[in-house]
Structure 1
Amino acid sequence: MGKMIKIALADDEVLFRTVMKKMLEDTGDYQVLFDVGNGLELTQKLEETSKGLFPDLILMDLKMPELNGVETTKIITKKYPHLKVVALTTHQGKPFILNMLNLGAAAYITKSCSPEEMLDTLREVSHKGFYYSDEVLQVIHEDFHTKNGKNRLSMLDAGFITKREREVLLLLCKQYKTQEIAEKLFLSERTVEGHRNNLLGKTNSKNVVGLIVYGLQHGIIELSDLVDPLGFDE
């Protein structure tokens, strides 16, 4: 994987955190910087952490005392939009999944998954910034069809998402950096940042993961769009 991925664990079960820490560090790919028992401790730790020792990923339980995982994710995605949150929980319900994804969580996995599934998810999130399992994708699709087109905004609706913004969105979804997008689309980096900020504002998204979920739910992008449609790697 290259450089060590730095992780923070937030779960109120000490035994679970201990086992998780050993399993992750035994792979040789991850360094667990710290583990905490609730969201309040997590936010305090992040405030105290120096830039060089800041985590890349947070494994977040949902049900925790003091400050639960959902409320903590709201705080983190607003204050640290580039920090990737992976929900790891016993809750499998559709409302929990949609809520966490709409808050900007990079992935959603349950504690009933195998160690291999969890490590695969972390690998994907580390590589491209997000990961949606078949179960999560099914929930997103069901949510879209349940709405039956209500409040659906396509890229053709009164210019809600312009053609240029959609091009930027597609490359953002693939985790391309501002400079790479600027070179691909023959734009200045400042213009790309402007389009990105417009997209976040228009969709009320916290980060790029939120943009992807919004795009899928509202028919702005399709799953096939996440497979390098613009041929950046040519």
Structure 2
Amino acid sequence: MDLIRVAIADDQVLFRKGMAAIVDSFEGIQTVIEVDNGLELIEALGAAEEKPHVALLDLSMPEMNGVETTKVIRKYFPDLKVVILSVYAEDRFVIHLMELGVNAYLFKNVEPAEVEKAIRTVVTNEFYFNNSFREAMNNRMQVKRPRRLATEDLWSDLSARERDVLELICKQRTGQEIADELGVSVRTVDGHRSSILEKTGARNTAGLVLFAIKHGLLDPSQTL
């Protein structure tokens, strides 16, 4: 990919302009859409000849907030990677957005280097989990421990190769890396991934990892 195109939706003009300037300072990354809210973003996406690869969304916006915008994006623009930038640090926000199909969740006080890392990672690997996400998952698991029994049937429904693929996905391996490690083609890996998505009901790769963590198939620390 020669250029990573980014859309930014945030009603705080100063923050949005600053974020656009930061994004444009990253090599090979460019802001192509800059709007006040989710509704304007959806309209801009529909009109764009070249769709952006990544959308940076504020969670709290007028007209259409980050949650509703994510739902629409997942329905009509499923290939667009969504990175939430928010001031909300509550675990429930982090987990809920991941369940909706968000590819990364960052707090607005992160360093620019982490924003760049998140953008590049969701493009190449579909999801980016940082320490804040892992802490949120650990906190949620302490409140309500998952029952392995609940997933035994699902785990047995997966073929041995699907289990291998899922475990490598959870370790943040790319499709090519998984193919190389298992000695199969990338197309075969994609086929296994699609089958796992269907069986688990996850919305995307990030959802697969979240599913594995919530149901005790993976410790959050293993996503490092």
TM score, norm. by length of structure 1 = 0.80
Matching of residue 210 in structure 1 with residue 207 in structure 2:
yes
Q: Paired residue for 1:70?
A: 67
Alignment match, 1:4: 3
Identify if the C-alpha distance between structure 1 residues 152 and 144 changes in structure 2 by more than 3 Å, giving closer, same or farther.
farther
Structure 2 unaligned runs (5+)? Answer: none
Match of 1:28 in 2: 27
1:141-220 aligned at under 5 Å gives the runs 141-150=138-147, 153-154=150-151, 159-173=156-170, 174-176=173-175, 181=179, 184=182, 186=184, 189=187, 192-220=189-217
**Cα pair distance change 1:133/1:39, threshold 3 Å:** same
Structure 1 segments (4+ residues) deviating >6 Å: none
Tell me: CA distance 1:151–1:7, structure 2 relative to 1, closer, same or farther (3 Å).
same
Structure 1 or 2: larger helix share? 2
Tell which deviates more after alignment, 166-175 or 54-63.
Answer: 166-175
Residue 96 of structure 1 corresponds to which residue in structure 2? 93
Q: Which residue of 2 aligns with 1:232?
A: none
Q: C-alpha distance in 1, partners of 2:58/2:77? A: 18
**CA contact 1:81–1:206 (8 Å) conserved in 2:** no
Q: Give CA-to-partner distance per residue, 1:15-51, whole Å, 9 cap, x none.
A: 221111112112333110111111111112112222x
- Distance across 2 between alignment mates of 1:93 and 1:156: 32
Point out where structure 1 has 5 or more consecutive residues left out of the alignment: 228-234
Aligned length: 222
Q: What is the aligned partner in structure 1 of residue 48 from structure 2?
A: 49
- Is 114-123 or 202-211 further displaced after alignment? 114-123
| Cα RMSD after superposing both structures | 2.9
Identity across matched positions, percent: 34
Contact persistence 1:155–1:163 (CA under 8 A): no
- Scaled by the length of structure 2, what TM-score is found? 0.84
